[in-house]
């Protein structure tokens, strides 16, 4: 029986399967609206509130347009932070798992040699502007075949002083399709776009799935303790302006037995990534963050966002609050206001928010990890074959050998490294311990990096 997404969007079968496995169907409104515009090659500014599915809105048509197994880079996605670039790559890799499309991520603070190696096979990459421009200028990345350039959280690229690098990349890609994505508008975004482009503005402003509340308090530290003790929190992000104060409050909450951690630009890339992973898993219940965490990060099950310090403007408030209520869930945003705060943001909250007090009858325990229901989005695993570029192995050699054992459509992403190859296959696929490739027996192992 033909379904709506087969007849209307005509997605290739492998992509439809990935969407089903990841529970992306039916598509969200912004994804349905963006698809035909991107597929037709139009330049597009896409504005939608946080948590509305903006990332998949451009990833789905990009994967649909990309030819499997080709060896040229066709799409580049620029993000304003390393964390967001990694997150987008993770989502792209999951969606591409059945499409024979290879992805890579190039960001600062990582092994440059490994990134250069990954670029040789990638068809879609996520990157920060500075690292990609550096690799391009050194001659390590060929962007001559790039047909689509996506700028995710475009306004933050500007605010993070990355506009110069972005403009240089744009001069190298004058003919490709440009897609700007953001939750808010910034006047300089026009500098990234051609004179003529389409605008898709969906659900502008505050996410109606997020309750906006505020508390007038002379003692924000005491109020924070009351909220964490008496709110029905699953996990929460507390936003502060200064990283030293964030670290201090995190230490104090730990002493109270609360599973929490600070998150700011003070910590190195490895520490921040580890903190986010533990927060996603529920091992950390409260993240004490500066605005380094405010943009784009998709962290499921965040029930509350607490603004210990107010941001400078309502646009930043919207972005912060949007860390909750992702993918049509609900959330609560609570701002701690000083009674004498006369800022525009405070006035907006008093007009549009709801005054509240903690319900002291509720007792909440944040000293134990959050037990999360297992959600396996794609039933796949990765295997490692002991053969690579130094053995003159190409993706077609791997696919040909595996297709004697597995259906061709079951062979997912193939990443050929110097001395080994990683392949995505179904979880239930049964393989021998060795396989013949180009006339030589090669060992098959389970990859440690799933």
- Is position 121 within any domain? yes
Co-location of 92 and 160 in the same domain: yes
Q: Is the pLDDT of residue 94 over 90?
A: no
Confidence band, pLDDT 50/70/90 cuts, at residue 131: very high
Determine the pLDDT at residue 122: 92
- Say how many C-beta atoms besides its own lie within 10 A of residue 380's C-beta: 21
Confidence band, pLDDT 50/70/90 cuts, at residue 120: confident
Determine the pLDDT at residue 205: 66
Q: Round to whole Å and give the CA distance between 405 and 430.
A: 9
Q: Is the pLDDT of residue 153 over 70?
A: yes
For 280-295, how does the pLDDT look when each residue is reduced to its tens digit (9 = 90+)? 889 999 999 987 655 5
- Is position 372 within any domain? no
Co-location of 177 and 222 in the same domain: no
Determine the pLDDT at residue 378: 54
Strand order of the β-sheet with 103-106 is 103-106, 124-127, 75-78, 148-152, 177-182, 44-48, 198-202
- Among the residue ranges 243-252, 394-403, 424-433, the one predicted with the least confidence is 394-403
Q: Is 417 helix (H, G, I), strand (E, B) or coil?
A: coil
Determine the pLDDT at residue 59: 96
Residue of 3, 158, 172, 153 lying closest to 73 (CA atoms): 172
Determine the pLDDT at residue 6: 42
Determine the pLDDT at residue 247: 94
Q: Round to whole Å and give the CA distance between 337 and 52.
A: 28
Co-location of 145 and 19 in the same domain: yes
- Among the residue ranges 94-108, 134-148, 256-270, 372-386, the one predicted with the least confidence is 372-386
Q: What is the mean pLDDT of residues 411-432?
A: 82
Determine the pLDDT at residue 161: 76
Q: Is the pLDDT of residue 383 over 60?
A: yes
- Is position 40 within any domain? yes
Q: Is the pLDDT of residue 58 over 80?
A: yes
Q: Is the pLDDT of residue 200 over 60?
A: yes
- Say how many C-beta atoms besides its own lie within 10 A of residue 427's C-beta: 9
Q: What is the mean pLDDT of the chain?
A: 86
- Is position 365 within any domain? no
Determine the pLDDT at residue 9: 52
Determine the pLDDT at residue 204: 57
What the block records as the tokens of 130 is: 């500075």
Co-location of 194 and 215 in the same domain: no
- Is position 360 within any domain? no
* Domain coverage including residue 432: 380-446
Q: Round to whole Å and give the CA distance between 129 and 107.
A: 8
Determine the pLDDT at residue 280: 87
Co-location of 415 and 346 in the same domain: no
- Is position 371 within any domain? no
- Is position 370 within any domain? no
Determine the pLDDT at residue 254: 96
More confident residue, 183 or 342: 342
Determine the pLDDT at residue 291: 79
For 223-281, how does the pLDDT look when each residue is reduced to its tens digit (9 = 90+)? 999 999 998 888 999 999 999 999 999 999 999 999 999 998 788 878 888 898 899 88
Q: Among residues 202, 219, 243, which one ends one of the domains?
A: 202
More confident residue, 13 or 236: 236
Co-location of 271 and 123 in the same domain: no
This prediction's pTM? 0.64
The count of structural domains within the chain is 3
Determine the pLDDT at residue 11: 85
Determine the pLDDT at residue 252: 97
39 exposure class (CB count in 10 Å sphere: 0-12, 13-18, 19+): middle
Q: Is 394 helix (H, G, I), strand (E, B) or coil?
A: coil
Placement of tokens 């696919």 in the chain: 399
Q: What is the mean pLDDT of residues 94-108?
A: 87
Q: What is the mean pLDDT of residues 376-405?
A: 80
Looking at mean pLDDT, say which of 12-21, 143-152, 263-272 comes out highest: 143-152
Co-location of 145 and 233 in the same domain: no
Q: Round to whole Å and give the CA distance between 2 and 176.
A: 34
Confidence band, pLDDT 50/70/90 cuts, at residue 51: low
Q: Among residues 202, 237, 269, which one ends one of the domains?
A: 202
Co-location of 150 and 177 in the same domain: yes
Co-location of 236 and 260 in the same domain: yes
Supply the CATH number for residue 386's domain.
Answer: 3.30.70.330
Q: Among residues 160, 180, 202, which one ends one of the domains?
A: 202
Q: Is the pLDDT of residue 85 over 80?
A: yes
Co-location of 94 and 197 in the same domain: yes
Encode burial over 256-274: b for 16+ CB neighbours within 10 A, e otherwise: eebbbbbbbeebeeeebee
Report the percentage of the chain scoring pLDDT > 70. Answer: 92
Supply the CATH number for residue 31's domain.
Answer: 3.40.50.300
Co-location of 384 and 346 in the same domain: no
């Amino acid at each position: 029986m033909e379904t709506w997404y087969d007849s209307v969007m005509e997605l290739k079968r492998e992509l439809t399967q990935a969407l089903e496995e990841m529970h992306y169907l039916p598509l969200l409104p912004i994804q349905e609206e963006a698809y035909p515009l991107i597929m037709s090659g139009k330049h597009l500014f896409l504005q939608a509130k946080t948590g509305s599915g903006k990332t998949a809105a451009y990833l789905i048509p990009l994967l649909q347009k990309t030819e499997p197994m080709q060896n040229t880079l066709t799409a580049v996605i620029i993000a304003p932070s390393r964390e967001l670039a990694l997150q987008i790559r993770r989502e792209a890799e999951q969606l591409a798992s059945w499409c024979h499309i290879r992805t890579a991520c190039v960001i600062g603070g990582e092994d440059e040699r490994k990134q250069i190696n990954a670029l040789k096979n990638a068809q879609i990459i996520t990157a920060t502007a500075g690292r990609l421009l550096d690799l391009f200028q050194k001659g390590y990345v060929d962007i001559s075949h790039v047909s689509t350039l996506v700028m995710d959280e475009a306004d933050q690229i500007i605010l993070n002083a990355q506009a110069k690098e972005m403009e240089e990349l744009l001069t190298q890609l004058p003919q490709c399709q440009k897609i700007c994505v953001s939750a808010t508008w910034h006047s300089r975004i026009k500098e990234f776009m051609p004179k003529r482009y389409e605008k898709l503005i969906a659900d502008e402003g505050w996410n109606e799935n997020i309750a906006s509340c505020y508390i007038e308090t002379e003692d924000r530290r005491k109020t924070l303790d009351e909220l964490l003790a008496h709110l029905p929190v699953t996990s929460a992000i507390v936003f502060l302006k200064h990283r030293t104060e964030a670290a201090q409050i995190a230490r104090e909450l730990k002493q109270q037995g609360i599973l929490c951690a600070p998150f700011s630009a003070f910590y190195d890339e490895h520490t921040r990534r580890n903190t986010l992973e533990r927060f996603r898993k529920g091992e950390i219940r409260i993240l004490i963050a500066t605005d380094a965490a405010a943009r784009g990060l998709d962290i499921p099950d965040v029930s509350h966002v607490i603004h210990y310090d107010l941001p400078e403007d309502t646009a930043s408030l919207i972005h912060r609050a949007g860390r909750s209520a992702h993918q049509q869930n609900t959330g609560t945003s609570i701002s701690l206001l000083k009674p004498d705060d006369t800022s525009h943001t405070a006035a907006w909250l008093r007009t549009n928010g709801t005054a509240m007090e903690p319900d002291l009858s509720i007792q909440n325990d944040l000293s134990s990890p959050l037990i999360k229901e297992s959600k396996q989005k794609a039933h796949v695993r990765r295997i490692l074959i002991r053969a690579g570029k130094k053995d003159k192995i190409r993706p077609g050699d791997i696919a040909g050998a595996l297709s004697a054992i597995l259906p061709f459509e079951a062979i997912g992403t193939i990443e050929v490294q110097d001395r080994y190859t990683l392949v995505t296959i179904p979880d239930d696929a049964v393989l021998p311990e060795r396989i013949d490739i180009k006339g030589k027996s090669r060992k098959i192992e389970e990859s440690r990096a799933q």
